[in-house]
């Protein structure tokens, strides 16, 4: 299955000075990591974070990007700007973007295009609301989100796409999906990739689970056959907990 990637999603937390402090605390704890480690920081923290990770294997992610290269889009940041800063990753389609800031499958697809054109690696978030799970349409929802976001993405470009399955009801709620639930949906997403591309691409793609993953439950979730990593919110702000999750990703 895909290469293990553990990514922190700091959301709207930490000033630049605090970001440096947190990265300095994480660095020694993940020095022996056998997986890829990424921290997803607020835009204004990017310069400090990029400087702080130097000499370590930690990658830096932005949490969104716009689809145009530049223009009259007050308050937005383009993929080209991230590229110019040598940011390696960008999180796209997070449920908080979709729920609070109007992101749709179509705008996520446009952002995906821009991010891949700029040479970034994308962490694409998909996941169902609780009502959708209760309706029994989780598979359809994540398939739709995945297919639309990957519209126009070549197999070669897919190597720069990580998919994060994040059930919305599990994000920030302390209510983690069971290992079986996480694995079932990650496997469904892998099937979608096999359908869109081929079995080789499906095996190679990294599929993370996200949603209240923490130091206590990470090992069980990461041991699942189709879970290749995690997108970590709350626990990524706690160096020891984040390091425990990284160590569990083998």
222 binds ligand PGA (CB under 6 A): no
Q: Which of 80, 96, 128, 166 is catalytic?
A: 166
64/83 Cα distance (integer angstroms):
13
* End-to-end Cα spacing for the chain: 12
Q: Could you tell me if 168 and 99 are in contact, meaning their C-beta atoms sit under 8 angstroms apart?
A: yes
Proportion of the chain in helix, strand, coil states, percent, rounded to 5: 45, 15, 35
Tokens of 246: 């990284």
Minimum distance from residue 125 beta carbon to ligand PGA (Å) = 7
Question: 107 in the Ramachandran plot: left (φ > 0), alpha (ψ -120 to 50) or beta?
Answer: alpha
Q: Is 180 a catalytic residue?
A: no
Give the binding range for ligand PGA (CB under 6 A) out of 12-20, 103-111, 195-203, 228-236.
228-236
Query: Is 94 designated active site?
Result: yes
CB-nearest residue to ligand PGA: 233
Helix or strand run (H / E) with residue 80: helix 79-84
Residue 202 lies near ligand PGA (rule: CB under 6 A): no
Is 211 among the residues that bind ligand PGA (CB under 6 A)? Answer: yes
Q: At 196, is the secondary structure helix, strand, or coil?
A: helix
Applying CB under 6 A, does 210 fall inside the site for ligand PGA? Answer: yes
**Length in residues, the chain:** 250
The reply to whether 233 sits near ligand PGA by the rule CB under 6 A is yes
CA dist 244 → 30, 248, 249 (Å): 9, 6, 9
Does 232 interact with ligand PGA (rule: CB under 6 A)?
Answer: yes
**Is residue 171 near ligand PGA by the rule CB under 6 A?**
yes
Set 80, 94, 96, 128: catalytic member:
94
Q: How many Cβ atoms sit within 10 Å of the Cβ of residue 27?
A: 18
3 state DSSP class of 59? strand
Is 90 one of the binding residues for ligand PGA (CB under 6 A)?
no
Q: Which of 1, 4, 6, 9 binds ligand PGA (CB under 6 A)?
A: 9
In the complex, what is the shortest distance from the CB of residue 232 to ligand PGA, in angstroms, rounded to a whole number?
5
Cβ closest to ligand PGA, residue 93 vs residue 211: 211
Contact pick of 107, 212, 217, 224 for ligand PGA (by CB under 6 A): 212
Which residues would be at the binding site for ligand PGA (CB under 6 A)? 9, 166, 171-172, 210-213, 231-235
């Amino acid at each position: 299955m895909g290469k293990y990637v553990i990514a922190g999603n700091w959301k709207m937390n930490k000033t630049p000075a605090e970001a440096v402090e947190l990265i300095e605390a994480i660095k020694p704890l993940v020095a022996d990591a056998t997986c890829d480690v990424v921290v997803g920081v607020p835009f204004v923290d990017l310069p400090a974070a990029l400087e702080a990770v130097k000499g370590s294997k930690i990658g830096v992610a932005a949490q969104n990007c716009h689809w145009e290269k530049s223009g009259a889009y007050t308050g937005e940041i383009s993929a080209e700007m991230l590229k110019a800063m040598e940011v390696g990753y960008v999180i796209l389609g997070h449920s908080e973007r979709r729920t609070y800031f109007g992101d749709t499958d179509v705008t996520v697809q446009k952002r995906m295009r821009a991010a891949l054109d700029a040479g970034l690696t994308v962490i694409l978030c998909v996941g169902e609301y609780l009502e959708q799970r209760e309706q029994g349409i989780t598979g359809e929802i994540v398939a739709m989100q995945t297919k639309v976001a990957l519209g126009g993405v070549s197999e070669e470009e897919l190597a720069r796409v990580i998919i994060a399955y994040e059930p919305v009801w599990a994000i920030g709620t302390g209510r983690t999906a069971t290992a079986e639930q996480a694995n079932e949906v990650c496997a469904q997403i892998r099937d979608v990739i096999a359908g869109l591309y081929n079995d080789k691409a499906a095996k190679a793609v990294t599929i993370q689970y996200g949603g209240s993953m923490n130091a206590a439950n990470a090992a069980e979730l990461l041991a699942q056959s189709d879970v290749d990593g995690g997108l970590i919110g709350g626990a990524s702000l706690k160096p020891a907990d984040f390091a425990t999750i990284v160590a569990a990703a083998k």
